[in-house]
Amino acid sequence: MKKIKTLLIIILTIGFASHVNANDAPNSFADLAEELMPSVVFISTTTTKVVNQVDPSFPFKFPPGSPFEDMFKDFGTPKERKGGALGSGFIIDENGTVITNNHVIDGADKISIRVNGDKEYEAKLIGKDPLMDIAVLKIISKDKFKPVNFGDSNKARVGDWVIAIGNPFGLGGTVTSGIISARNRNIGLSRYEDFIQTDASINVGNSGGPLFNMGGEVIGINSAILGQSGSIGIGFSIPSNSAKKVVEQLIKFGETKRGWLGVRIQIVTKEIADIEKLDEPRGALVASVSENSPSAKGGIKSGDIILEFNGVKIKEMNELPKIVAQTEVGKTVNVKVWRNKKVIIKKIKLGRLETSEDFKVKKIPEDKEAPEISESKSLKIKTRVLTKKDIDDRKLPNQTTGLVITDIKTDSPINYLQINDIIIEAQKKKIKSSQDLESIVEIALKSSEKTILVVIYNNQNQRRYIGVKLD
């Protein structure tokens, strides 16, 4: 029996040691770095835009022709210089196609690329995508280059070892290492975010450079850091699986062609899920449907909750735009929605985002003050009735009715709304007067749930659903 126990301990010890060794740090990154370095490029740009360069210790600028210009030219007189930027990139084919961030080359008149730390080339822009911050360049040369391959970023796990190679602060050929710290990060920099977070040191100048796995595959494009003064161990990379689709389109078309559903969406809160009798907060709530959009033609309505798109379950609201954008333009998909406490399926033929009205930025005129202010003591807000002039100025649907918020107290249950937001519905009933709203609130206060569903137009004229918990 004693021998059996001893044997068991030895087996467990060997198994534990094997597990530790399998996940231990590499002895060295030298071989991998040496292999990958020729594929990483260092990018510098110049622009004809004139930038004032002022010495803070000498904050005066003399008018042209002033005699003081010559007198103070050696004492910090403000000078003018051309703008420019530094960044990184990587080669994906032997003909010199380079991937980088859009913000590295945005507005550049001239793009220079240094390969393997010694030879410099000019490059031209093939295509760019500001929404995902990706650009594709082509080195102007008949030379052959050493490319790297994209890996499968979906296989990257938190805790995996990675290395970054780039051009931080203009110091080309810099290699840093670390692990994947987190996945699926959204930090509010662009429309389609799904960042890989890493603690590998990333600084200014690393933008556009590759994040490699231990197989030498690119699993991310380094794009952002947290902190103004430099790396604090929190860097963000665009996942390769998202980047690949954009890169392919930029190479093929010189532009992106994203799927378009034509809805404005918002988070399904616990209050909204409870009101709609949905089992849990999930999916994406349709706040409004664009006129003549694929969703309008396919029968999607405001108030629907999209639970599934093209066979993919939507757990959180921000997942839907990414999935739609990556779906082929013109494809017909099944969209599963929650409506009136049951699931229905709609078939939608996707349009193209870049040619849609949703893609165009519209300026909304400010709403004008109007008389006849009413006060809701329960909601602790002041409102006025929506006028025909409001509808015309803000280009709202002609039959819109509602109340324009003119004041909100800090202890209001809807203090997160803003002045000039318009309350148009409550508990799925149209609001035409302050009495309509007060009656609905009073009924809700007498109920056990004390929750109402409110529909508004916000200051950007976006239709939103709000679950309000009353005191």
Residues with a catalytic annotation lie at: 103, 133, 207
CA–CA distance, 369 with 451 (Å, rounded to integer): 30
The pairs formed by 357-364 with CB atoms below 8 angstroms and a separation of 24 or more are: 357/290, 357/291, 358/260, 358/262, 358/290, 358/293, 364/394, 364/395, 364/459, 364/460, 364/461
Residue 297: enclosing H or E segment and its boundaries?
Answer: helix 294-298
Of 112, 337, 90, nearest in space to 220 by CA: 90
DSSP code per residue over 321-376: HHHHHTSPTT-EEEEEEEETTEEEEEEEE-EEGGGSGGGS--PPPPPPP-S--EEE
DSSP code per residue over 397-449: -TT---EEEEEE-TT-TTTTS-TT-EEEEETTEE--SHHHHHHHHHHHHHSSS
Q: Please list, in sequence order, all residues whose beta carbon lies within 8 angstroms of the beta carbon of residue 440, skipping any fewer than 6 positions away.
A: 426, 427, 429, 452
CA–CA distance, 451 with 303 (Å, rounded to integer): 17
Residue 35: enclosing H or E segment and its boundaries?
Answer: helix 30-36
Residue 123: enclosing H or E segment and its boundaries?
Answer: strand 119-129
Q: Nearest 5°: CA angle at 181, between 212 and 228?
A: 90
Residue 245: enclosing H or E segment and its boundaries?
Answer: helix 240-253
Other C-beta atoms closer than 10 Å to the C-beta of 336 total: 19
CA–CA distance, 329 with 351 (Å, rounded to integer): 6
Give residue 424's identity as a one-letter amino acid code.
Answer: I
CA–CA distance, 289 with 264 (Å, rounded to integer): 6
Give residue 420's identity as a one-letter amino acid code.
Answer: N
Q: Please list, in sequence order, all residues whose beta carbon lies within 8 angstroms of the beta carbon of residue 48, skipping any fewer than 6 positions away.
A: 82, 109
